[in-house]
Structure 1
């Protein structure tokens, strides 16, 4: 019993230390880390999209769903940097967190589907999807800490349920097309998240808007 108590005490102290460490980190540092992680997230999704393009049947492009069919399309977001610069800090963070949260389930589907994907580089694609999940989780944890520092309005998350099921289709073409479509949606959303966080970082260090 004493041994268990000792383990429990160590765990409790570790958690306290982590909380205290996060609290001690400045907003600027947190935003800088978040921006680096979001940049990596977008870079990975872009690399994966290009990798799929290298072995994608012409008919796949003809039947690819439109971007408006992405499950996150209902979320009203700034269309460009100029619009983003007019959005409040708390709203930009809320939008970033909403988009990131919306990709938890789709990333699981991409991960479970990658190994059986009819693509010569499916092993490498699977490995990169795993990285995407890790970066997404890490970024989400960082944004949770940021929202705690920025106040209640930044903690609001819009629910954007993914209704794509648990498989990408029965035939090879369907699986490739649906996988590619999901990745293209992720690439678009990761670019938005990265842009919003870079605007937040620029504001935090008081850079001129045109430099963001």
Structure 2
């Protein structure tokens, strides 16, 4: 199973195949509000979808770490960005558990809403990250390619999380902060611009790891620990 997922996610058609997988799972599923109301087919579909979504979040976290490392190697050498006062992430106001142990104290429904809000909060930021990086000095083409892949997978994760919410009878609350860092990414000062990209990608890595942790806990609570 893991091998087939890896092959699927590494292919050029990964986004299309991943979304098709959601649709195939969704065809035989109806919204249900409690564990007791889920039949075997629904529970099986939920397990497959959460397995797929959790695996995708692991891939996104890994790819974001590679993007951060490559950006630092290309643009942050000798600039001591890590010694500066870090910029505040635009998602910092969310009440997010800091580790897996704290996450276990939250309900799956609460974590799903939090994951969806985190993913939605990156829609504009990722779009500008991809678009504005082309103005960087040197050759940022590899970074742009990685950022686009991450952007596509964030969209896929959002679709997956929304589907899981529907499967367990949860209505998503569209609450997420607006990102307002475009001016700093377009600064005429190269150092300001580089540090802004560094901060944005650092925040992206922080949130992608949180999403992965929360989805693992959600899967544990709804599937591994379930009595359905």
TM-score normalized by the length of structure 1:
0.81
For the residues of structure 2 that align with 1:186 and 1:62, how far apart are their CA atoms? 16
For the residues of structure 2 that align with 1:46 and 1:54, how far apart are their CA atoms? 12
Cα gap change, 1:167 to 1:61, in 2 (>3 Å): closer
- 2:177 is matched with which residue? 160
Verify: 1:177 aligned to 2:195, yes or no: yes
Instruction: Indicate which of 99, 113, 121 corresponds to 1:80.
Output: 99
1:111-122 correspondence runs (5 A): 111-120=130-139, 122=140
**What's the offset of the Cα at 1:125?**
0.3
The RMSD of aligned alpha carbons is: 2.2
1:96-107 correspondence runs (5 A): 96-107=115-126
Aligned residues: 188
- On the 8 A contact 2:108/2:222 being kept in 1, the answer is no
Cα gap change, 1:205 to 1:147, in 2 (>3 Å): closer
1:179-194 correspondence runs (5 A): 179-194=197-212
For the residues of structure 2 that align with 1:165 and 1:147, how far apart are their CA atoms? 32
**What's the offset of the Cα at 1:115?**
1.8
- On the 8 A contact 1:72/1:160 being kept in 2, the answer is yes
- 2:54 is matched with which residue? 35
- Where structure 1 has 5 or more consecutive residues not aligned to the other structure, the ranges are 1-17
For the residues of structure 2 that align with 1:148 and 1:97, how far apart are their CA atoms? 12
- 1:15 is matched with which residue? none
For the residues of structure 2 that align with 1:83 and 1:36, how far apart are their CA atoms? 21
**Runs ≥4 residues deviating over 4 A:** 18-21, 62-65
Report the structure number with the largest CA radius of gyration. Answer: 1
